[in-house]
Amino acid sequence: MTDESLSPEEFNGELRAWVRQVTGKADGGAGVAMARSTFYRRTSGSKLMPLDELIRVVGGAVPRTLDPAHRGEWIRKNTGIWQAKWWKAYAWRGEDTAVPVPVLDPATTAAPVPATGSRLTFPRARVAALGGLTTEQPTIPLIEALGRWLENSESNLFFLTGPSGSGKTVETREWTASREQVRYVSLRDGAVDYIALVDEDRSPIVIDDFDLISSSAEEHGVTRPDLSELRSAFGRGGRFVVISKRNLQTERDELAEQLRSPARLEDLGVESAMVVRVEPISPVEVRALGKERGGDDRLRNLAAEMERGGGFFPATPMVLKQLYASLEEGAPAPRTQWDGYTVHLKHVCGQPWDRKSSRIPSRVRFQTYRDIAWDLFTGMDEPTSQEQDLIPVPRVSEWLFANLQRDLDITRQRDFLTYEWIADLLDHSEVFGVTGRTKDSAESAEFAHETFYQYFVAESIRDRLRDGHGMALDGARFADMHMGPLVMTFLKAGFQPGDLDAVARLSVRESLSWMDRLICLYLTEERVDYGGLLDQAPERYWDELEFVLEAFRSLFLRKAAMFQLILRGRVPVDGYLEILDREEDPGAVARERDVLGWGTDITDALVHRLHHPVLTPAIPITAYRLGQMGDITCLSHLEGLTDLPPAHQDVVRSAIHRIKERHEHQHPD
C-alpha cells in the first residue's frame, strides 16, 4: 500500500487494527462510540462508514488514562489523520467500492428493489440562494452552486450556511478534492494566517468551521469570527468559500449584518458575494427514499411525522440517520414525537458531533439545557431586558457551573478553574448556541430550534408534576409566557401510565396556585373523574382565571383557560368559536391535532370528547374540531346533535359539510 492510494478494504483493516491497539477493544470504546457488532458491520469488506461515524469511533477510542487536559488535542490530531485516510479511501474508485455519498435519482423508473438492509443514504445537499446567485428553481445542488461560483472570477466570496450534519463539509471536501487549484483549511486545526494563504494565482480557499469560538482573553470565551478577519486577504486578491452554521435569517451578529449590507461588504473588499443556505430534507424526499428502499415503513412513518408535526427538528442527514440507526440497532421505534426528540437530544448531548470533542458529560449538558429552558420559560430576573427567547451568556455560565460543581470528578480536575467550559458548551451549537440578536451589546444565546426549547420545558414540567410538586410560577409573569401546544404534546407523550394519577392528586390540593391548577386540569380533562376534579377547584381559582383571561399573550393558554371557564358556565362558548375562526393558523391547528389525538386516532379521540358528560358545554367546539380533523366515520355522531341552539347547529352543519368535502377530495372514486 502507498500513500497515494488506499482502498476501502485496506482502510477498514487499518482502522480495526488501530482501534484494537489503542483501546484493547474492537468497538472504539464500549458504550462511547458504537456497539461492537455495529463497528464490525460498518468496517466489513469494501463498505466505507460515513464520515460522522468515523469521528465517533475516533472520539470513543481516546485512552481513558490520558490526562483530560490533553484529550481534546489527542482527538483532534487523530481525527485529522483518519479523516485524511477516509478521503483517500473514498477517492479510490474500484468497481465494487461502496460510495458513501448520498444519491437519490428521482428519474428512476424501474420497480423498486427491496433494500431495507443496505446503507441508508439521503439526497445530496441542495441550497437556496440568499444573495448574489440567480436560479430558476427554489433550490439547486450545492455542487452546482460551487461550480458556478468558481467560474465567476468576479466573485471572491462564496458564503455557505446550514445546520450541523447537512452535508456542508462532506460535499465541499469532495468538491475540493476534485479540483486541484482549490485548497481546504479548518479553523479547528488552529489559527490561520489568511494573508499567507493567498497565492499569486488567486487559488480559491475553503475555510471550514468559521463559527469556532476561541480566545480565552474574552470574558466567557465568546468570540465569533466575522468577515473583517479576511479584509487584508481580500485586498491581496484572495477568493474564499466560507462555511458557517449561523442562521442568517434570525441572527443579528456582526457577520450577519455584514452579509446583509452591500456597502459594508464593499468596504471589506468583498466583490459579487454569493450567499447560500443548505435546505433541510423534505418529507417528500424521505418518503421517496422509503419507496426506493422497497417500501421502508420506518422512513414512511418518519416522513408522516415530519408532515404532521410541522415543527420537526432540523431534518439533516445526520439527524435522520441517527434516528434510523437507533431503530436498526434494535431500539424501540419512537412511538411519539417525545420519543423521537428524546433519542435525538440524548444522542447529541453524549456525542462529539461535527468533528468536535467535549469535556462536558452528557448528563451535565442535558441538565444545563433543561435549566436554561426553564429559566426562559419562567421569565428570568429581568424579562424586559432581553428578547423573549434569548438568554445572556453570563446567565448560561451560571447554570453550567452550578451543574458542573455537582460532579466531584469534574471539580477535582487540575484545570477545572482554567478550562473554557462555557466555550465548550456554546461551541457545540447543534441544540443551543450564541446569537447576537439582542437590543443591546450583551452577548446572548438561544436554542437552535424552537422545538428544542419546548421539549426541555416539557421535561421540567413533567418531572415537577410527576413528583407531586407545583411549578411555583410567578402569577405576575404567567400571562406573558410563550407556552405552545407542542409543550403539552410533549408533556402528554412523556407521561408514563400512572403519572396522570399524580397530576390529578396535585390538581385538588388546596394550596395550589391558579397557574399550576390550570395546567393540571388541562392535562387531566380526558379522565373519567374530571368532573370531580373541576368541582374541587376552589371558587377563587375561577375568579382569578376569569380576571386574567384576556391578559394571556399565549393563544394556547388563553384557549385552555377559556375552555375550563366554559365548562363551569363562567363564559359563553361563542367566544372560543370566534378564536377558532379568526386567530388559529394552520400551525396552531396541527399542534391541536397532536394534543387532542395523542395516543389514539384523532377522530376517535374527538368522538369520545363529544360524548364525555363533563365536556357537554363544549360540544360546539368539539364539533368544530371534527370538521377540521375528523373523517367520514364521525358523521352519524354529528348528525345526532339535534338539540343545540340554532347558532351551534350551524357549526355542526358546517362541520358535516367540511368532512364530506374532504372525503370526496381524498376518495374521488
**Is residue 392 one of the residues assigned to a domain?**
yes
**Is 420 in a helix, a strand, or coil?**
coil
**Residues 474 and 378 sit within 8 Å (Cβ to Cβ):** yes
Using 50, 70 and 90 to split pLDDT, how confident is the model at 597? low
Residue for cell digits 364539533? Answer: 623
Q: Is residue 159 a contact partner of residue 239, using CB atoms and an 8 Å limit?
A: no
Q: Are 477 and 550 in contact (CB under 8 A)?
A: no
CATH number of the domain encompassing residue 268:
3.40.50
CA–CA distance, 62 with 71 (Å, rounded to integer):
7
Q: What is the mean pLDDT of residues 260-268?
A: 88
**Is-contact 523 516, C-beta < 8 A?**
no
Q: Can you tell me the distance from the alpha carbon of 112 to that of 115, in angstroms, rounded to the nearest whole number? A: 9
Residues 616-637: tens digit of each pLDDT: 999 999 999 999 888 899 999 9
* 155 shares a domain with 286: no
Q: pLDDT grade, residue 382 (50/70/90)? A: very low
Handedness of CA 151, 155, 156, 159 (dihedral sign): negative
41-55, 156-170, 536-550, 564-578: segment of lowest average pLDDT: 41-55
381 confidence band (pLDDT: 50, 70, 90): very low
Higher pLDDT, 224 or 202: 202
pLDDT of residue 516: 87
Residue where the block lists cell 385538588: 508
Q: What is the pLDDT of residues 31-44, one digit of tens each?
A: 344 555 567 667 77
Q: Are residues 1 and 79 in the same domain?
A: yes
The continuous run of DSSP H or E covering 52 comes out as helix 51-60
CA–CA separation, 379 vs 478, rounded Å?
A: 9
Whole-number pLDDT of residue 19: 84
Residue 354 lies in a domain: yes
Percent of the chain with pLDDT over 90: 18
Whether residue 288 sits in one domain with residue 355: no
Q: What pTM value is reported for the model? A: 0.61
Q: Are residues 426 and 512 in the same domain?
A: no
- Mean pLDDT of all residues in 62-91: 74
Q: How far is CA 132 from CA 4, 141, 156, 277, 434, in A?
A: 38, 16, 11, 12, 27
Mean pLDDT to the nearest integer, 427-437 = 71
HSE-CB of 37 using CA atoms within 13 angstroms? 4
Residues 479 and 611 in one domain: yes
96 and 133 co-located in one domain: no
Mean pLDDT over 370-395 rounds to 70
Residues 514 and 622 in one domain: yes
The whole-angstrom separation of Cα 332 and Cα 343 is: 10
Last residue of a domain, one of 100, 134, 156: 100
Residue 93 included in any domain: yes
Domain shared by 552 and 511, yes or no: yes
Same structural domain, 301 and 382: no
Number of separate domains in the chain: 5
274-278 vs 126-131, strand pairing mode: antiparallel
- Examine residue 116 and state whether it is found in any structural domain, yes or no: no
Name the pLDDT band for 328 (thresholds 50, 70, 90).
low
Residue with cell 445542488: 141
Domain that holds residue 62: 1-100
Written as nine digits, the cell of 207 is 475555510
Residues 455-485: pLDDT tens digits?
A: 899 889 888 888 888 887 766 666 566 666 6
Residue 93 has a pLDDT of 42
Query: 91 with 16, same domain?
Result: yes
Query: Is the distance from CB of 385 to CB of 394 less than 8 angstroms?
Result: no
Which pLDDT score, from 0 to 100, does residue 656 have? Answer: 93
